[in-house]
């Protein structure tokens, strides 16, 4: 099994953490969190992959080795959760921009 997907996961997590921690714009922070969620999805898919296996939805399989269905189900659940988190964070960013006139997280303190 190739380690390339797991290297891509580590790189995506590093980029997402960098964007979420180091950037000041709220939209860029949301994109960083979204990249981390996509890395989690890639990890789940890569963890459930089997070389030469068939999809578990195919019932008349010519061979007995199938790809693990549990990581696929977890990935679908993770996509829905990531979508909801992204939508909520973007709505917070819009409300902050409306109330404070800026999407810069360092420009105004929210606890004043």
Q: Coil, strand or helix: which one is 51?
A: coil
Give the range among 15-19, 58-62, 105-109 with minimum mean pLDDT: 58-62
**Domains, the chain, ranges and CATH?**
4-100 (1.10.287.3510)
Neighbour tally for 52: CB within 10 Å? 7
CB of 34 closer than 8 Å to CB of 82 = yes
With tokens 């195919």, the residue in question is 58
Average pLDDT over residues 46-51: 82
Do residues 31 and 15 touch, judged by C-beta distance below 8 A? no
Which pLDDT band, with edges at 50, 70 and 90, does 96 fall under? confident
């Amino acid at each position: 099994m190739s380690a390339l997907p797991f290297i891509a996961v580590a790189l995506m997590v590093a980029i997402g953490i960098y964007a979420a921690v180091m950037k000041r714009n709220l939209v860029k922070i949301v994109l960083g969190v979204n990249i981390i969620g996509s890395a989690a999805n890639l990890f789940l898919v890569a963890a459930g992959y089997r070389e030469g296996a068939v999809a578990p939805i195919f019932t008349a399989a010519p061979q007995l080795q199938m790809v693990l269905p549990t990581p696929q189900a977890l990935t679908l659940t993770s996509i829905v959760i990531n979508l909801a988190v992204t939508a909520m964070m973007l709505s917070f960013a819009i409300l902050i921009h409306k109330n404070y006139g800026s999407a810069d997280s360092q420009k105004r303190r929210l606890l004043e």
